[in-house]
């Protein structure tokens, strides 16, 4: 059970049940997504259409016809596969890795000795955020030259 932060009353502590699907290949994931995604769009449209009348008619607890009619949402279906792998295996941009292949197995290890941290700079907030509001010292005005 997880909290759904997209609900308008998500601070009330209501929770939804989520089903996590894991796949052996991208092909398997795409075939399941091809089946589920149209059903999700249809179920959302049906839910939105009945939500307009829910306040007048009172709560409705109509049971879904089948398991495909019960799916209301699909998450992370649009995350590219290589991004999902990088997130799951904690591979980060800007880090160095050692990649080795031995006997058909590939290992990726982070190089700790090549890790470089950015230099931090501290500035005074009055001078960095509002440069136009700094007081300027009075500049001498040019005096007109007398003409002969």
Strands (E), 13-136: 15-16, 97-102, 105-110
Please report the pLDDT score of residue 8 as a whole number: 65
Q: What would the mean pLDDT of 112-121 be, rounded to a whole number?
A: 78
pLDDT digits (tens, 9 = 90+) for 30-78: 898 898 999 999 988 888 887 767 655 555 555 557 888 888 888 776 7
Extents of the domains making up the chain:
2-112
Taking the alpha carbons of 54, 57, 61, 65 in that order, is the dihedral positive or negative?
negative
Q: What would the mean pLDDT of 3-30 be, rounded to a whole number?
A: 74
Place of tokens 């495909």: 68
In sequence order, what are the beta bridge partners of 98? 109
Please give the model's pTM, rounded to 2 decimal places: 0.47
Residue from 41, 28, 29, 30 nearest 68 by CA: 41
Q: pLDDT band for position 10 (50/70/90)? A: low
Please report the pLDDT score of residue 79 as a whole number: 79
H or E segment at 27?
helix 26-57
Please report the pLDDT score of residue 59 as a whole number: 53
Q: pLDDT band for position 85 (50/70/90)? A: confident
**Do the Cβ atoms of 74 and 33 come closer than 8 Å?**
yes
Please report the pLDDT score of residue 102 as a whole number: 93
Please state, for a pLDDT cut of 90, what percent of the chain lies above it.
Answer: 7
Taking the C-alpha atoms of residue 87 and residue 80, their distance in angstroms, rounded to an integer, is 11
**Do the Cβ atoms of 57 and 97 come closer than 8 Å?**
no
């Amino acid at each position: 059970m997880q909290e759904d932060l997209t609900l308008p009353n998500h601070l009330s502590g209501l929770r939804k049940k989520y089903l996590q699907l894991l796949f052996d290949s991208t092909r398997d994931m795409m075939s399941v997504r091809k089946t589920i995604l149209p059903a999700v769009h249809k179920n959302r449209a049906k839910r939105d259409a009945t939500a307009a009348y829910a306040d007048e008619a009172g709560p409705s607890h109509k049971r879904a016809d089948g398991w495909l009619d019960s799916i209301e949402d699909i998450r992370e279906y649009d995350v590219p596969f290589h991004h999902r792998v990088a997130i799951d295996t904690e591979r980060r941009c800007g880090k160095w890795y050692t990649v080795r292949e031995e006997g058909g197995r590939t290992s990726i290890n982070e190089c700790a000795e090549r890790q470089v941290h950015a230099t931090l700079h501290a500035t005074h907030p009055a001078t960095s955020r509002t440069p136009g509001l700094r007081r300027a010292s009075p500049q001498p005005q040019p005096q007109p030259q007398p003409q002969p």
